Amino acid sequence: MIITEGIVLKERLAGEHDKFVDILTKDKGIIEICVKGARKINGKSGSSVQLFAYSRFCIDLRRNMYFLNSAEPIHIFYGLRNSLTALSLASYFSDILRYCIQENSDGESIMRLMLNTLHFLEKGLRSEKQLKAIFEFRLMSETGFMPDIVACRECGEFEPQELYFNIPDGSFRCKECSSGEYENFFAVKLPVLSAIRHIVLVDFDRLFNFRVSDDTLEILSEISESYIQAHTERSFRTLDFYKSLKGNKYE
């Protein structure tokens, strides 16, 4: 028997009584678990395998498949269901994880990112736009796509007041080194660069502790979304749905 903690990212019905759930774990990455008799499970065991439940799972490995033996909830994130936009944004985060994280990978830092993001989203302690940008940039950094934001790639200038961020290679160049080549570049100011540096470099305890102006946050959100789409090489329907709810504006 295997005992692990994880977050339910996806659930799919199978037949009349069973379902499969994808869970993000600390030590096994994302795994698929078969929950036999899921529609008959009540109480704690039933809530433990609901979408966005953070639970302790006891699972069996049989015929190269995981089967749920028992589960106990740690936190359910019920508050997400009070807001359709919060729920849809959390679903977008789940889709990104299911695409980026493989089975048998180290998921501890990723799970901490997801748990903290869902906490702030559930409690409304940060704006959805800020949480989205944090999640997108930090996830890319944790999975090997950290942007090169230390200094201008050409001259080494550390704090240019005007700069251009390159989406495909994740680097920036100061205005003097851009040479008029603006394709795939975002023109940004220093506060945007400072926010990106904070997100990708700071330790988890301080990750969500920063404030920026509305204009800076708007640009930061555009860049983070473009960056993750460029490096995953795909779009996400859950993001399209979220944006349709918000009218393309994140609050």
H-helix segments, 37-125: 43-48, 84-100, 108-123
Positive or negative torsion for Cα 239, 240, 242, 248: positive
Strand ranges inside 123-225, DSSP E = 162-166, 171-174, 185-189
Residue pLDDT, tens place only, 147-190: 998 899 889 999 888 889 999 889 998 888 877 666 678 888 99
Residues 9 and 123 in one domain: no
Residue pLDDT, tens place only, 72-99: 999 999 999 999 999 999 999 999 999 9
Q: Please report which confidence band the pLDDT of residue 215 belongs to, taking 50, 70 and 90 as the band edges.
A: very high
Residue with the two structure tokens 């975002």? 186
What pLDDT is attached to residue 107? 81
pTM: 0.91
Determine the 3-state secondary structure of 139 from DSSP: helix
Query: What one-letter code names the amino acid at 53?
Result: A
Residues 107 and 50 in one domain: no
Residue pLDDT, tens place only, 24-56: 998 889 999 999 876 665 545 678 889 999 999
Domain of residue 107: give its range: 84-147+185-246
Positive or negative torsion for Cα 197, 202, 208, 210: negative
Residues 15 and 108 in one domain: no
* Residue 26 burial class via C-beta count within 10 angstroms: exposed 0-12, middle 13-18, buried 19 and up: middle
First CA to last CA distance, the chain: 44
Q: What share of the chain is helix, strand, coil (3-state, %, to 5)?
A: 45, 25, 30
Determine the 3-state secondary structure of 21 from DSSP: strand
Measured CA to CA, the distance from residue 98 to residue 45 in angstroms comes to 23
Average pLDDT, the chain: 90
Residues 49 and 116 in one domain: no
Residues 58 and 91 in one domain: no
Q: Where is the domain boundary, 75, 96, 128? A: 75
Determine the 3-state secondary structure of 25 from DSSP: strand
What pLDDT is attached to residue 248? 52
Residues 111 and 128 in one domain: yes
Residue 44 inside a domain? The answer is yes
Q: Where is the domain boundary, 12, 41, 75? A: 75
Q: Where is the domain boundary, 44, 75, 106? A: 75
